[in-house]
Structure 1
Amino acid sequence: MKRRLAVAVDVAVRRGAAQRLADGSHTLYDRLAAGLTAWVSAGRRDDLTGYRAALGPLLRLALLCTLAYGAYRAARAAPWVMWLAAGAWALAAWRAAAPDEEPVEDPADTPNEASPEAPVKAAVALLREVLRDRPAVHLSEVLAHLQEHGQGKGWKVADLRARLEALGIPVDPKVKLRGVPTRGVRAADLDRHFPTGETSSSPTQVDAA
C-alpha cells in the first residue's frame, strides 16, 4: 500500500511540463552548487597552515568570479547568447527531471477503483499516519517516513511539497516544531479541507486488513 501511495502521488504530478522544468531546474541548481562548492574546497592545502592553506580556494573562487563576469560581458555584447544559454538550461532541466524508470504495478497491488480522488485520499491517509495525534508535521519527517519504506528515493523536500500542492493538499511554509519553523502540514488544515469521513483509512490499517 505504501508503494501505491508514493507511485500515485508521483504519477499525479508528472503530467505538468512546467512542473517538470521547475523540478529539473531545482535539481540542476543543487548539483551545480554542490559541485562548485566541492571544487573550491578541494583547493585547500592540508600540508600548509595559515593563509597559505586558503590560497587555493581563494584563487579558485576568483577564477569563478572572472568566468561569471566574462559570461555577463558576453551576454551584454551579444544578447542572443542568453537565448542559447536558456535553451540549454531548459533542455538539461527537462532531462534532469526525467523519472529513472516507469513504475511497474503488480496486478494484485492495483487498486480496484480508478477514481481521480484516489491519489488525494492516499496522500491524506499517509499524512494522517505520520501526524498521529500531533497538530503538525514537517515535510522532512514525511519524506523520511516514505524513504524508510523504500519510497521517494532521490526526492527532496521541495519535490514532496510540489507533489502535495499539486494534489490540493495545503502546505504551510512556517510550521514551527521544536523551535524550528519550516514547511509542513497542519492537522487542522487537513481536517478543514479533507474531513476524516471523506478519506480512506490509514495505510497501516489497510495493510493489516
Structure 2
Amino acid sequence: MTRLARTADRVATGSQIAIRRVAARAAAWCARGRRDDLTGMKAVLGCWLRLALLALGGYLLWRLVRAVPNLMWFFTVGWLVASWRAGRKAPASSADTPAAPPADHTPEDVRTAILEWIWQRIGEAQGVHLRDLLAHAHAHGMFQDLDVAALRTHLERWQIPVRARVRVRGQGVTVGIHRDDLQLPATASPSDPSQEEQKTQLHPV
C-alpha cells in the first residue's frame, strides 16, 4: 500500500470513528434530558427539547455556510484533522477507553477490567448512568450490539450492582451504578489479608 493510500485509508477510517463518536455523544446528551421522576410525555420533554436544539444548531450552521461559502474550507480542514487523529491506532489499554483484557484472560480479569473502566467513568461523581457508560463504549467502537437493558444484564451477571435510580449531578436520575455499591480499587500489598478478602468478594460465580 502506497503512502497516499495509507493516508486516505486512515482519514476514511477516522472519519467513520469521528461520526460514531459525535452521534453517540449527541444521543447521550439528548438522553440526559429525560426526567425519571416524571411520567408520560413530561418525562421526555427534555429529550425532545435537546433534539430540537441540535436540529436548530444544524440549520443555523447550514444558513451560515450558505451565507459565507468560504467557511466550508475551514470546516473541511477541521474535519480532516479530526479524522486523521481519530484514525490513529491507539493502544488497547488507553485510559480513555474501556479496558480490554488479554486474550488468555480469566473471569476475574474480565470483572476487574470492567470495574476499572466504571471507576474511570465515575471519577469524582456519586455514580455513573448506564446510558453514559454505553455511549462512551459506543464512541470507542465497543459493545456496539448492546443497548442499556443488555448492558445491565451483563453487568449484573458479573455481580456489579446496578440501581434503578442513581442521581448524578447535572445529569438527572436514571438507572446506573452508585460508587457506594462498588469495591474501591485495591491498594493493599499482595500479602495484606484485606486484599485477599477483596479478591474473594470480587470473584464471579
TM-score by length of 2: 0.43
Higher helix share: 1
Structure with greater contact order relative to length (CA < 8 Å, sep ≥ 6): 1
Larger Rg: 1
Structure-1-length-normalised TM-score: 0.42
